[in-house]
Structure 1
Amino acid sequence: MRIDLFGGFRVVLGNTQVPPDSWSRRAPAVLVKMLALAPGHRLRREQVMDAIWPDLDPPAAAANLRKALHSARRILGAETIVSAGDLLFFPADAVAIDVRDYWSLVTAARRSRDLDLYAAAIDTYRGGLLPEDLYEDWAAAPRDELKADWQVLVEEYAGLLETGGDLNGAARAVQRLVTADPLNEDAHAWLMRLYALAGRRDEAQRQYTRLRDLLADELGAEPSAETQRLYEEIRAERTADPALTTDLWERVGDLRVQSGDPAAAVKAFGQVPAGDGRVHRKLAGAWLMLHQPAEAEPHLDRADRLAPDDAERGRLCRLRAELAWERGDLPAARRLAEQAHGIALAHGDADDVAAALEGLAFVSHMQGDWRPGLQQQIERLAGAGLGSRVVRFCDFNHCLSQYQLYGDDFAGDVGDYARQTLAVAERADAVPAQAFAWCLLGESLLLEGRFDEAAACLERSCELYEPLGSRTVALPWLRRAELAACVGDHAEVTVFLKRATAIATVTPMARHAWARLHATAAFAALERGEPELVIRSVRAAQGTAARYGDCPTCSALLNPVGAQAYALVGDVAGARLRAEAAERFVGSFPSAAWRAMADAAAGYAGGSRELLAAAADGFDRAGHTFWAARTRGNAQGTLAP
């Protein structure tokens, strides 16, 4: 049996399509559609009754469900829908579903960056989910999820085509975004840029006119200043001007760096005519993101010769530090990072100072002295004049601090270190650093299961970060959401996740914020007994990782939680993918806590109580009380619904 849901409902048995008039009654069709959309293609009877007959009492709804089930089996065959106790489901591997095909193609495309897989996934969508059920409540959430993911997927595909030099192909892809959402100004501007780069100046100008008219008619607004500036550059017939070409390709490269795709960034920056020192610096940075120092060094040398001022030389010095640590010369990396920091203080802007401090933090982390290094940097913050940019410095160190919380060599005394760091921050009157220390202390108490103390610390961290504005740090809010999930306060989870989502939307450290946000949302959904929402969070995390880049440490929790959710809905393949991701991670970052996460994920995927028991022991060794108790309970309880 094959079920198609994109572009309209259709069922094929063997080589014969079920006649559309077979579905003249609504309920049997809705039952089949809901099962096709459900994770693992299984639903509890109560879920179906609540969706189709929300106003009926349970006995009447149950009678209607029996009739609908009988009718669906009569149309499709008696064995097509299995009933086991309270569950209704399709037999494993007995049905092909286009939505399931879509998600498989998406996962494969994002892992491989293969253009053909991207194109196949995009084409599978075929105009959206079940257009005939546009106003059905049960279809709203999966429709919105699929539409949002498809739009992100098209953006990723267009970006790959653009940086590969296929400007016309990229334009066709972006045109699909414009067609799907005519008021998406970013898509219109992207299309204008692509037309300009391809020498299609007249089309770029017409695209701007269409955007301007749409915004005026629909919203009573005008294009943003950035879009207007791009239009004026194109209208001034500068498309053949190397300066404009340089500017446009540089923007492409910057976007690819932001999305965590340095290989595409290298291609984009490589399109810029030779002679621009700033672009050589960015090329060097992209090569270093790819861990290829030999490719980066010639660009650093060229950028050095072309550096216009001391501020630019300071930025290059920071990259020289990165080059040194890529080659394993950590003493040289520290010396260069210190030099870059000094130049940034004397000649750079707040971004330069923050970036230099990040470099120093990473060198300290690599040398194993992150703790004293951070405290020294906090003492420097008092007179640095970073303003809200210090948030980026704190966010970067929050990520590094996860190695303290989960690493074998550090975890036992993180609380004491956080208290010492708080004292240093108070002496320096460095308020953001105080917020950092309160959060770290709260995190250590949370993992120890000391929930009341953790709540007070995390609340204080949020209070101190709050005045820094919208681009503050999301982590304490996310840890508060995690704590609320641990104690079953699901209303508070929603409040904290909403606040963190607002931050993640605008923060320059998006890859850290979104990774942990989706992991926390997944955990909260699992604690509420909603594994299907966990799976949505896993898919959403894949989309934001493709857009902003991924942080493996910040998203580590997603692996065991996702594996458990997939196992609960009977999706063995999905559970194994999360277990494999967890195993890859612990292979790069071994520790008792991360090993426990990998064992837990594998235990859920394989239904192994022995692995879950081993995971619980690992959490015990790491001092993670809550996770040890939770995993041990799962090892002793029932692994399947």
Structure 2
Amino acid sequence: MTKAENETVFHIEMLGGFKLTVGDKVISDTISRTHQLWNLLEYLIAFRHKTISQEELIAALWPNDDSENPANALKNLVYRIRSTFTSHGLPHAKEIITFYHGAYRWNNDLPCVVDTEEFERLCKEAANPVQPAGERIARYREALQLYRGDFLPTSGYEEWVVPLSSYYRSAYFKCVYECCELLMLSERYDDVRMICERANAIDPFEERAHLCLIHALVRQNKQSAALEHYNYVTDLFYRELGVKPSEAMRDLYREILKTVNSVETDLGIIKEDLREHSQAQSAFYCDYEVFKNLYRLEARAAARTGQSIFIALFTLTDLRSNIPETKVLGTVMDQLLSTIRTSLRRGDVVSRFSTTQYVLMLPALTFENGQMVMDRITRRFWQEHKGAPVKIHTTLQPLDPVE
């Protein structure tokens, strides 16, 4: 395509936001506050390869019948779209929307490139198993680059947008995983990392993208980075969704712990790796898998030394003793963890057991002292967070030594 030809082509973006460009002329849904104007234009472009009856357009734009004269309102919107194009100097302003036999449509006689259509084309080409792996990867990466975000996010609450947004998002993550699979086979782990980091920015709660990223870090012998990301993900899912890591995530965690691809002979380097990088002024907080191993170790030691160790459980409920709402739970659980950690000794261990519970390991205490510790934590929490819409339930039991 020559430069002159390209200057007459309509380039339309709908992934990550709406923008229409012709040559050096650009309009987007940020230039006008009239939402219905953009709603109509976006609908006509999204379904530009089908004839759309006036009734269908009215149903899409005014699903709640909130227009007294929808046919006239629709005609007025078409006029305003043409006027907007004219005022911004775009070519073919009067011709972009046609009306024939009672139906409106985008004028497909005008040269037009739409990112959603290009995205689908590239996804289809990339998925062809007959193509060489390198070609498929190149097509996948082109498609992934086109996906700048959700389909028409500023219109995301429109009924007609919701299924299309879900469709394109699913197609995007399908491309992510299939591309990463090919890249892993080619040992291009850094490319996997970059793709997954971008996918995580688009949807931080897509667990499989986190799994791919952690796998790539492990294959690069970056176990510390892999563990750091694992801890970030499990904390994020606990805090925002109130869910525990999946079995796939836990299996990967165990794989990280077992993966050692080099022999380090400098004990000083090993000690530096083991050392906590922040000043340990509060109780040790760890993943529940680590907590279980520490518990088993202490149980073995207790059988030999006779040292008393207690296990404490803190459970949060709402005022009716039910599980709190997710938005409340995330905040209050963070607050409770902060209170627990700063109220305990550095040698005490705490972990999140479930969406609403923390489990503590308290060595060298009597039952009475353990109960005093729990009461102190509860009292301090209420001093720091008066009016929190929750109840705190506590349980204390001695550790069972291994016989």
TM-score bin (small chain): 0.5 to 0.7
Among residues 39, 43, 47, which one is paired with 1:30 in the alignment? 39
Aligned partner of 2:296 in structure 1 is none
1:541-587 deviation line (CA, Å, top 9, x unaligned): xxxxxxxxxxxxxxxxxxxxxxxxxxxxxxxxxxxxxxxxxxxxxxx
Aligned partner of 1:462 in structure 2 is none
1:66 is paired with a residue of what secondary structure? Answer: helix
Among residues 116, 124, 127, which one is paired with 1:110 in the alignment? 127
Matched, 1:80 2:102: no
Among residues 100, 114, 117, which one is paired with 1:97 in the alignment? 114
Shift of 1:118: 1.1
Structure 1 or 2: more helix by fraction: 1
Among residues 184, 187, 207, which one is paired with 1:185 in the alignment? 207
Query: Aligned AA for 1:159?
Result: E
Alignment map for 1:321-336 (pairs within 5 Å): none
Shift of 1:217: 1.8
Query: Aligned AA for 2:168?
Result: L
Aligned partner of 1:254 in structure 2 is none
Shift of the 174–210 alpha-carbon distance from structure 1 to 2, 3 Å rule, reads same
Aligned partner of 1:60 in structure 2 is 69
Alignment map for 1:197-596 (pairs within 5 Å): 197-240=219-262
> 1-side partners of 2:259 and 2:170: how far apart?
36
1:300-325 deviation line (CA, Å, top 9, x unaligned): xxxxxxxxxxxxxxxxxxxxxxxxxx
Query: Aligned AA for 1:103?
Result: E
Shift of the 210–80 alpha-carbon distance from structure 1 to 2, 3 Å rule, reads same
Identity %: 23
Shift of the 17–224 alpha-carbon distance from structure 1 to 2, 3 Å rule, reads closer
Give the conservation status (yes or no) of the 8 Å contact 1:201–1:239.
no
Give the conservation status (yes or no) of the 8 Å contact 1:37–1:142.
no
Shift of 1:129: 1.5
Aligned partner of 1:40 in structure 2 is 49
Shift of the 79–7 alpha-carbon distance from structure 1 to 2, 3 Å rule, reads same
> 2-side partners of 1:118 and 1:50: how far apart?
36
Query: Aligned AA for 1:200?
Result: K
User: Which of structure 1's runs of 4+ aligned residues deviate more than 4 A?
Assistant: 19-22
Among residues 155, 158, 181, which one is paired with 2:180 in the alignment? 158
Shift of 1:58: 8.4
2:104 is paired with a residue of what secondary structure? Answer: strand
Shift of 1:11: 1.9
Give the conservation status (yes or no) of the 8 Å contact 2:48–2:105.
no
> 2-side partners of 1:212 and 1:180: how far apart?
18
1:134-185 deviation line (CA, Å, top 9, x unaligned): 2222211111111111111111111111111101111222233333333333
Shift of 1:73: 1.9
Aligned partner of 1:317 in structure 2 is none
Query: Aligned AA for 1:232?
Result: R
> 1-side partners of 2:148 and 2:25: how far apart?
21
Query: Aligned AA for 1:192?
Result: I
Aligned partner of 2:59 in structure 1 is 50
1:50-75 deviation line (CA, Å, top 9, x unaligned): 11123338871111011011111222
Give the conservation status (yes or no) of the 8 Å contact 2:98–2:107.
yes
Among residues 203, 217, 232, which one is paired with 1:195 in the alignment? 217
> 2-side partners of 1:73 and 1:16: how far apart?
15
1:40 is paired with a residue of what secondary structure? Answer: coil
Aligned partner of 2:147 in structure 1 is 125
Shift of 1:82: 0.9
Aligned partner of 1:6 in structure 2 is 15
Shift of 1:3: 2.2
Highest relative contact order (Cα 8 Å, sep 6+), 1 or 2? 2
Shift of the 3–225 alpha-carbon distance from structure 1 to 2, 3 Å rule, reads closer
Give the conservation status (yes or no) of the 8 Å contact 1:185–1:223.
no
> 2-side partners of 1:68 and 1:52: how far apart?
11
Aligned partner of 1:418 in structure 2 is none
Among residues 171, 179, 194, which one is paired with 1:172 in the alignment? 194
Shift of 1:199: 1.1
Give the conservation status (yes or no) of the 8 Å contact 1:51–1:138.
yes
Structure 1 gaps of 5+ residues are: 242-641
Give the conservation status (yes or no) of the 8 Å contact 2:29–2:38.
no
Shift of 1:20: 5.5
Give the conservation status (yes or no) of the 8 Å contact 2:123–2:139.
yes
Aligned partner of 2:343 in structure 1 is none
Give the conservation status (yes or no) of the 8 Å contact 1:192–1:208.
yes
> 2-side partners of 1:82 and 1:186: how far apart?
45
> 2-side partners of 1:19 and 1:215: how far apart?
35
Give the conservation status (yes or no) of the 8 Å contact 1:43–1:87.
yes
2:52 is paired with a residue of what secondary structure? Answer: strand
Shift of 1:39: 5.3
Shift of the 64–205 alpha-carbon distance from structure 1 to 2, 3 Å rule, reads same
1:165-214 deviation line (CA, Å, top 9, x unaligned): 10111122223333333333333233222211111111111111112212
Shift of 1:10: 1.6
Aligned partner of 2:163 in structure 1 is 141
Give the conservation status (yes or no) of the 8 Å contact 1:125–1:150.
yes
Say how many residue pairs are matched: 241
Shift of 1:21: 6.3
Shift of the 9–156 alpha-carbon distance from structure 1 to 2, 3 Å rule, reads same
Aligned partner of 1:491 in structure 2 is none
Give the conservation status (yes or no) of the 8 Å contact 1:204–1:234.
yes
Structure 1 or 2: more strand by fraction: 2
> 1-side partners of 2:191 and 2:251: how far apart?
25
Shift of the 124–59 alpha-carbon distance from structure 1 to 2, 3 Å rule, reads same
> 2-side partners of 1:119 and 1:26: how far apart?
33
1:88 is paired with a residue of what secondary structure? Answer: strand
